Amino acid sequence: MSWETVYRMVKKIPRGRITTYGELARVLHLPGGARAVGYAMAACPSGRGIPWHRVVGAGGRLLIAEPHAALQRRLLEAEGVTVEGRKADILRFGWPPRKKSAAGAKPRRARAR
């Protein structure tokens, strides 16, 4: 299976923001959910500018094992993300991923009651 769609979405996460494995899986409609995104991140190729460190577990938890967790913590803190122990402040720095709607599609209007 190719993880290119996951990597493209991860590249869209702005500097200083984070999102969760589950949010990415939900937006991308991935079979296997958050675990599938975890597999993609574990297989993340180096040298392609994919900011893997901006993807965290539910509630902002840093789930990867040491020594990579320490690197993730340093990279996030360098971008201004507050990390305490093994948890990033998801409420403050969370980024909600969204797939683009169809080109030219008009936003839906609320129905009048």
Distance of CA 18 to the CA centre of its chain: 6
The rounded distance, in Å, linking the Cα atoms of 111 and 9 is 32
What range does the domain containing 20 cover? 4-93
Q: Is residue 103 part of a domain?
A: no
Which CATH number covers residue 61? 1.10.10.10
Count of C-beta atoms within a 10 Å radius of residue 44: 16
Residue-wise pLDDT tens digits, 48-73:
899 999 999 999 999 988 888 899 99
The domain total for the chain is: 1
The mean pLDDT of the chain is: 86
Residues 6+ apart with CB under 8 A from 33: 22, 25, 26
- Cα torsion angle, 100, 103, 107, 108, sign: negative
pTM: 0.81
Q: Is residue 67 part of a domain?
A: yes
Q: Is residue 25 part of a domain?
A: yes
